[in-house]
Amino acid sequence: MLTGIVIDSVDVERMDRFWLDATKGRTGGLRLRFVPVTEPKAPHKNRLHLDLAGGPDWEAEVERLLALGATRADIGQGDVPWDVLADPEGNEFCVLRPGHPGVLADSGLVAICLDVAGEHRHAQSAFWQAEADWHAVEYHDWGVRLRRRRSSAVSLVMGPPAAPKTGRNRLRLEVTRPEWEPGEFLDAGGNEFHVTG
């Protein structure tokens, strides 16, 4: 079962504090776990990022996140109905505006977005439906959206654009599987994920 997100962090305490404040503690029951690393984030876009709900006053929410230590980020998104920011260590995340498709809450974490190239979309979807015990609730030509239950605030969204795999992913999904040996594994798209017992 999908139970969390692992985030490599140079400053674990600062990142833990930032994300607790950024999500207002609303993570849909998923644990955000920060593991210490010595290397800062590479300049390329992460293959996994988080989406937060901006709510009806999304401009004020963006300003609140900037005051917490986020920065504006340009990943080539152009003119889109969301704001792209980066956390204090440069990990991209999005603030979704009201009316964004698939958003079921006004604040907190609402989506985990995993880049998947078109040729891996079906294998990736099948893999995560089996391992996460989440179920497909929407299929689109661009990808698929999974949820634990139809009413769950947080979804797992898989689709393009697929960032090239240039090294170990800084953000990774975490699943709890008592029957597996704890450790790090690769999913159907070559993305690392953690297993805990």
Contact present, 169 and 47 (Cβ < 8 Å): yes
Average pLDDT, the chain: 93
Where is average pLDDT lowest: 38-52, 88-102, 120-134, 181-195? 120-134
Q: pLDDT: is 89 or 133 the higher one?
A: 89
pLDDT of residue 58: 96
Using CB atoms within 10 A of its CB, is residue 68 exposed (0-12), middle (13-18) or buried (19+)?
middle
Residue 133 has pLDDT above 80, yes or no: yes
Q: Which residues contact 71 (CB under 8 A, 6 or more apart)?
A: 85, 86
Where is average pLDDT lowest: 102-111, 131-140, 144-153? 131-140
pLDDT of residue 41: 95
Taking CA atoms, 104 is separated from 109, 113, 158, 165, in Å, by 10, 15, 17, 31
Q: pLDDT: is 10 or 168 the higher one?
A: 10
Cα separation, 119 vs 101, whole angstroms: 24
Pairing of β 155-159 and β 92-96: unpaired
Residue 120 has pLDDT above 80, yes or no: no
The single-letter code of the amino acid at 102 is: G
Residue 16 has pLDDT above 90, yes or no: yes
Indicate the pTM of the whole model.
Answer: 0.94
pLDDT of residue 142: 78
pLDDT of residue 77: 83
pLDDT of residue 20: 98
Residue linked to tokens 């004020």: 60
- Which CATH fold would you assign to the domain 2-196? 2,3-Dihydroxybiphenyl 1,2-Dioxygenase; domain 1 (3.10.180)
pLDDT tens digit sequence for 21-44: 999 999 999 999 999 999 999 988
The single-letter code of the amino acid at 165 is: K
Domain range summary for the chain, segments of one domain joined by +: 2-196
Strands annotated E in 25-153: 31-36, 48-53, 71-72, 82-86, 92-96, 109-115, 135-139, 144-147
Residue 175 has pLDDT above 90, yes or no: yes
What whole-number percentage of the chain has pLDDT above 70?
98
pLDDT band at 160 (very low <50, low <70, confident <90, very high): confident
- Mean pLDDT of the region 111-118: 88
For residue 64, give the H/E element and its range: helix 58-68
